[in-house]
Chain A
Amino acid sequence: AQSVTQLGSHVSVSEGALVLLRCNYSSSVPPYLFWYVQYPNQGLQLLLKYTSAATLVKGINGFEAEFKKSETSFHLTKPSAHMSDAAEYFCAVSVASGGSYIPTFGRGTSLIVHP
């Protein structure tokens, strides 16, 4: 069974600083990996996804993530934080199981951006 671990339930950065949100997964087979963002009182929106093509994936709003198989990681980064980036971020993994893929989500990391 796959699992996802997001290190840090809260990450606080200053506006303009680097954003780094950590995600590690466990899977015995090649996974598909995703990052989603959730703004208050809204559903989840896809930021980016890794589906076995390029290991460095670029997403919306300037975010990107790098798939590192040796480290079983898929950390999310953004060079310069903006106030509008404040939200909850979820890492997800999708792995084949019995003919289907079941997406599993991490517990989420709340990004706080200070002026």
Chain B
Amino acid sequence: NAGVTQTPKFRILKIGQSMTLQCAQDMNHNYMYWYRQDPGMGLKLIYYSVGAGITDKGEVPNGYNVSRSTTEDFPLRLELAAPSQTSVYFCASSYSTSGQGHGYTFGSGTRLTVV
């Protein structure tokens, strides 16, 4: 079982550059989430999706965009990278939106540095 796969694992961007963080899950989960993790701040929800074609903003969506064209994939786009976006990004998925069953399954993260 691959679970949730995130690529790349590490990336250094220059200010103003753009990139896409990839996330794919093979568990046929409808619900997918993007979080950022900053030291001492826990996880902040950026965007989430309740199914293909449906996305919604989380707590900290500014500077990011998402799309959900298939059940499996949920890419996160940074258009104009800023130093404030230096963080570790986690993608997660769940069978039910409440987390019943197996809870939320997380990828191994993407460590992004913007210089």
Please give the residue numbers on chain A whose beta carbons come within 8 Å of chain B beta carbons, in ascending order.
Answer: 9, 32, 34, 36, 41-46, 49, 51, 90, 92, 94, 96, 100-108
Chain A residues contacting B50 (CB-CB under 8 Å) are 100
* Chain A hits for B8, CB < 8 A: none
In the assembled complex, the Cα of A45 lies from the Cα of B99 at a distance in Å of 13
Q: How far is the CB of B94 from chain A (nearest CB, A)?
A: 8
Instruction: Give the complex CA separation of A9 and B98 in angstroms.
Output: 26
Interface bracket on B: 20 to 34
CB distance from A100 to the nearest CB of B (A): 5
Give the residue name and chain of the B residue nearest to A96 (CB).
B98
B88 CB to closest chain A CB (Å) equals 9
Establish whether residues A100 and B97, one from each chain, have CB atoms under 8 Å apart when the complex forms.
yes
Bound CA span A38–B103, Å: 15
Closest chain-B Cβ to A21's Cβ sits at a distance in Å of: 14
* Those of B61-115 within 8 Å (CB) of chain A: 90, 92, 96-100, 102-109
Interface residues of B in 48-66 (CB under 8 A from A): 48, 50, 56, 58
**In contact, B40 and A107 (Cβ under 8 angstroms):** yes
Question: Shortest beta-carbon distance, A99 to chain B, in Å?
Answer: 8
Assess whether B41 is interfacial by the CB under 8 Å rule: yes
B residues adjacent to A (C-beta < 8 A):
4, 31, 33, 35, 40-43, 45, 48, 50, 56, 58, 90, 92, 96-100, 102-109
Extra pairs beyond A32-B98, A42-B109, A107-B42 (18, CB < 8 Å)? A36-B106, A44-B43, A46-B104, A49-B103, A51-B98, A90-B42, A92-B99, A94-B99, A96-B98, A100-B48, A100-B97, A102-B48, A103-B99, A104-B45, A105-B35, A105-B42, A108-B40, A108-B42
In contact, B41 and A107 (Cβ under 8 angstroms): yes
Partner of A43, one of B58, B100, B102, B109: B109
B77 shortest CB reach to chain A, Å: 21
Shortest CB distance A54–B (Å)? 14
